[in-house]
Amino acid sequence: MSRVHPNCGDEIRCVVSGHGDVPSSFTVWKKSSMSFQGTDGFTVFNQKGGLVFRVDNYSRNKNLSDGDGLVLMDGVGNVVLTLRPRGFSLRRQWNAYRGEYRVFVMKKRLRSLLTKNTKDEPVDIFLQGSLRSDQSPEYLVEGSFASRNCIVRRKADGALVARISRKWVKSTPTVVLANDVFSLVIQPGFDTGLVMGFVLVLDRICRKSSSDLVL
């Protein structure tokens, strides 16, 4: 695949900072930026094809590649977030840090055996601090990340934060790319680095596992 990022004129203008009056549009490629085939990293392009985020994870074993966590970097290698799975959570819960400060916790909700046929993968996002038993999440993930068809909403007012969808290429006929390349659109006013952290954790906690099904 020689070109997976959007062309300049496609869809909407990109605002990398997440501020402005239009959404930010990105193309996420599940591949380390050094272009090694089969790796489990991420490369993220903006609307003009510029590299804006990357995760340089060179492992080819996705079950072992988490190790001590993931490091989200910007295009030039500055650390944006450090993401770590919580011990003994079967990777259903992850913490995100800026330096030593925890900025969010993401937790996959347990699903009943009665709903095992649904494609939805409900995930709750809690900002900052410790996760209390009575705490309500600030953000909700609705839909199926595995199918590249989900959204992030702010719980308080239902506002759309971001949308993840299949990536398509303008051609005749239209070509829909495989799931290792997908689109991420973030609404104005939201921290794009933070939302990209959500995406990385979703990739880890929305993998099918029999441990996700409980009575």
pLDDT at 13: 33
Over residues 44-62, mean pLDDT: 81
108 forms bridges with which residues in the sheet? 123
Which pLDDT does position 113 carry in this prediction?
Answer: 45
Helix ranges (DSSP H) in the chain: 192-205
pLDDT at site 110: 73
The pLDDT tens digits for 164-208 are 999 987 766 777 777 889 999 999 999 999 999 999 999 998 865
> Residue 2: its pLDDT value, please?
39
Which one of 3.40.50.10800, 3.40.30.10, 1.10.540.10, 2.40.160.200 gives the CATH number of domain 24-206? 2.40.160.200
Report pTM: 0.80
Bigger pLDDT: 2 vs 72: 72
Residue 106 bridge partners (DSSP): 94, 125
- Pick left, alpha or beta for residue 191 (phi over 0 → left; psi -120 to 50 → alpha; otherwise beta): beta
Q: Are the C-beta atoms of 62 and 175 separated by less than 8 Å? A: no
Strand partners, 213: 111
Mean pLDDT over the full length of the chain: 78
What is the tens place of the pLDDT at every residue in 112-162?
A: 544 554 567 789 999 976 667 678 899 999 999 999 999 999 999 999 999
